[in-house]
Amino acid sequence: MEIKFIDRENSKECIEKVYGDKAIELLYETSVGKMISGALASRLVSKVYGGQQDSAGSKKKIKPFIENYSINMDEFLPEEGRDESDPYSSFNQFFIRRFREGKRNFSNVSSDFSSPCEARYFAYDQLTSEDSIPVKGSLWDAKALLKNDDIAKDFEGGPALLARLCPVDYHRFHFPDSGKVIESYPVHGAFHSVNPIALKANQNIFKDNERFVSIIETENFGKIAYVEVGAMMVGKIIQSHSGKIFNKGDEKGYFLFGGSTVIVFGEKGKWSPSKDILDNTRNGIETYVKLGATLGAKI
């Protein structure tokens, strides 16, 4: 199965080079794989595998990974306290690498809704149960993901973003606007792959997977539900921001090893995703958007 996306910066259609594609196909597209995928999606397996990426021995994976996926390391800082000659103490430290100053910037225009993570996006102006890209809308709507019917009511018929982070991507996520955290809580679950191959085979993944929910009040876009979804072999979802108050572009947290997803729900009539991303979504194709780029606008 080819996974295509639009590279927004270059207006180019690309084919994704999938990390572990053969294993994902085996697990989710064969009868034997389906029998064992549930066990591999357990918390214990993902935690153990994720923990291995913290070992000094995991460093040997970094160079071939960079070469295989053509990652431009000139954009990234070494781990704090290390230099360019030996920049990372483990694969996980490479995985959560930070951008150098000025490599990514958030718009200072208050009406611009900025991309909270560097990822492949689907966008919806008004998410309904009829939406079926990439999975049936009712299986990843606010009610299903937030696990709180009272909170979910605030986001009925509102805009939604689904941002898929591949293992090759920058794995820190940020706030799209300034504001304050109203409440936050974990929702415990499984660690299935969030790759489109897996989503096609198991449409319950988003509502079944481990996730962390934050309800935030923004200065320009009203209330937002910000949901980080874990995935197979993701060791942890880390909330690095402390306190209630945040500024646009502040780091909110990061994922340790694995492909992951960030989902954003908005209030009806407050903001709308950008037209090009909406159009691509209707055509069934994701849009690759860099961190901080304009992703939508205030209505």
How far apart, in whole angstroms, are the C-alpha atoms of residue 260 and residue 257?
9
* Structure tokens, 123: 């966008």
**Nearest of 147, 131, 107 to residue 248 by alpha carbon:** 107
Dihedral sign (CA 119, 120, 125, 130): negative
Kindly give the residue spans of alpha helices, DSSP state H, lying in the chain.
21-29, 31-40, 43-52, 62-68, 91-95, 142-146, 149-152, 196-201, 205-208, 275-282
| 45 and 39 Cβ atoms separated by less than 8 Å | yes
**pLDDT on residue 145:** 86
**pLDDT on residue 77:** 98
How far apart, in whole angstroms, are the C-alpha atoms of residue 274 and residue 296?
4
Give the gyration radius of the chain's Cα atoms. Answer: 18
- Angle of helix 31-40 relative to helix 21-29, nearest 10 degrees, comes to 110
Beta-bridge partner residues of 223? 217
pLDDT tens for the chain, 299 residues long, are 678 999 999 999 999 887 555 554 544 456 555 555 454 444 545 566 666 788 889 999 999 999 999 999 999 999 999 999 999 999 999 999 999 999 999 999 999 999 999 999 999 998 765 554 554 444 467 888 898 999 999 998 899 999 989 888 999 999 999 999 999 999 886 655 555 555 555 555 566 677 899 999 999 999 999 999 876 555 578 999 999 999 999 999 998 876 688 999 999 999 999 999 999 998 989 999 999 999 999 99
Beta-bridge partner residues of 2? none
Q: What is the pTM of this model?
A: 0.85
Secondary structure of residue 5 in the 3-state scheme: strand
How far apart, in whole angstroms, are the C-alpha atoms of residue 23 and residue 267?
39
| 166 and 274 Cβ atoms separated by less than 8 Å | no
**pLDDT on residue 166:** 86
* Structure tokens, 11: 């207006």
| 200 and 291 Cβ atoms separated by less than 8 Å | no
Dihedral sign (CA 176, 292, 130, 137): negative
CB contact set of 89 (below 8 Å; sequence gap of 6+): 56, 59, 79, 82
Position of tokens 């995991």?
A: 58
**pLDDT on residue 243:** 93
How far apart, in whole angstroms, are the C-alpha atoms of residue 263 and residue 139?
13
Distances from the Cα of 107 to the Cαs of 116, 123, 161, 296, in angstroms? 12, 19, 18, 11
